[in-house]
Each structure stands twice: as structure tokens, then as C-alpha cells.
Amino acid sequence: MAAKKNINVKKKELEKRIKKAVPVIEVKKIPKPPSREFEAPEQKQEEFFVGLHNSIDVRRNILESSRDMIHTLQSYQKISEIRAEKFKRIEQFKTVMEELKLLTNKLNKALPKVQVKEVEIRAKETFDKKPRLSKADVLSKSSISDLEKLEEELSKIEGRLSRLD
């Protein structure tokens, strides 16, 4: 019963719209072809067709929106393929990393254990207002200090030799 009321309301709304509309081409009532299945009389609906003034523009808009939808679906398909490829590569990466970890562990076990001396990393000296020395000056000072040390050691050795004689 409620469905019949809805149908009647829809018919009345359509008839009002048609009367208010700018001259409409024609409103034809087309009967529904007989169906093979049993239908209750309450479920029968009558179809109305209304003529459109700019049917070509409407058709063009529908086709353009369909084309845009197809482009969107194609881009979605590409994104899903890229996503699948990404997950596949991530899995490959994980397996390679596990294999590398195993191989490094085997290598560490096979190599002899040696103690490595730790090397101190000197912090950069703070900026002083003193002029910087050139590389040649630095080398000469370090070589002079080395030479002085060698001369001192040589003099000590000579002193020991003189004592022995």
C-alpha cells in the first residue's frame, strides 16, 4: 500500500514539473512489455519519458564524464600495479638482507679474532684569532721536533759509550 502511494506521489510530482516546464516536446506513456515472471499488481510502475531541449549537450556531458571516469580507473589500476611491485621489491629486499646477515655472521666466525687498537679521534680545535700556519710550516716544525728528539737520543747514546771507554 505504501509503495502505491509513493508511485502516485511520484506521478503527481512529474506531472507538475511537466506542466511548469518550458514547452516540452511530448510526454508519452510507454507501456511496460509483459514479463514472464509473476508480478504483484502493486509493484507495477509506469515509465515516463521526457524530452530534453539540449539533448546533444547532455549526451556530450555524459560521455565526457564517462571518459574522465575511465581515465581515473586506468590511473587507479596503474597505482595498484605499482603498489604491488613495491611490496614485491620490499620482500625481495628483506630476503637479500637476511641472506647478507647470515653470510656476514659466517664470515665473522671464519675470520680469526684480533684485537684492534682504538684510534682517538681528535676534536677540531676551536677557532683562534691567531693566523694559521701553512702546511710547509707545520711539516717543518714537526720534522724539527723529530730531529731534535733524534739528536737528544744520539747524544745520550754517545755519553754512554764514552763512559764505557
15 and 3 Cβ atoms separated by less than 8 Å: no
Cα 116 vs. chain centroid, distance in angstroms?
43
Handedness of CA 76, 82, 86, 89 (dihedral sign): positive
Q: Averaging pLDDT over each range in 13-27, 29-43, 60-74, 114-128, which range is the top one? A: 60-74
Contacts 24+ apart (CB under 8 A), 52-59: 53/22
pLDDT band at 27 (very low <50, low <70, confident <90, very high): low
pLDDT confidence of 131, banded at 50, 70, 90? low
pLDDT surpasses 70 at 150: yes
Entry pTM? 0.37
Alpha helices, DSSP H, located in the chain: 2-20, 55-110, 135-164
In the chain, the amino acid numbered 79 is I
Mention every residue, 6+ apart, whose C-beta is less than 8 A from residue 74: none
Domains of the chain, residue spans: 2-53, 55-109
Q: What is the pLDDT of residue 24?
A: 47
User: What cell was used for 1?
Assistant: 500500500
Whole-number pLDDT of residue 22: 47
Q: Give the residue-averaged pLDDT of 138-144.
A: 59
